[in-house]
A = this chain, B = another copy of it.
């Protein structure tokens, strides 16, 4: 049993939990994905994320706006509302990439043991 322990400080644990918080829940990732793939309008996003309700979409969009992952625009006569991903949202992509890879390998690994 080796002892190369990686000990995190409470602040680091907190940071980790913050990050998880920002992307957890059932819908955040699929919604970001929809916006990143070019969906801009509420109903467009609503249709492209299977099974999400308007209520949930509305909540997620607000939270993500608060966290600066997306922003919302309204035109002058208030007829066109659009959502865009921010540059800041892209700082997330390395983590997302690593998480995807880990998740893919993890699933294979668990499968292999059954």
A interface residues (Cβ-Cβ under 8 A, vs B): 1, 3, 5-8, 11-20, 22-24, 29-30, 33, 36-38, 67-68, 84, 88, 90-96, 98-107, 109-110, 113
Cβ of B103 and Cβ of A17 under 8 Å apart?
yes
A67 contacts across to B, CB distance below 8 A: 106, 110
A-side binding surface: helix, strand, loop or mixed? helix
Nearest to A1 among chain B residues (CB) is: B84
Cβ of A29 and Cβ of B7 under 8 Å apart?
no
A37 and B38 CA atoms in complex are apart in Å by: 45
What are 5 A-B residue pairs whose CB atoms fall within 8 Å in the complex? Answer: A15-B101, A16-B103, A67-B110, A94-B98, A95-B99
A8 and B99 CA atoms in complex are apart in Å by: 12
A101 and B6 CA atoms in complex are apart in Å by: 15
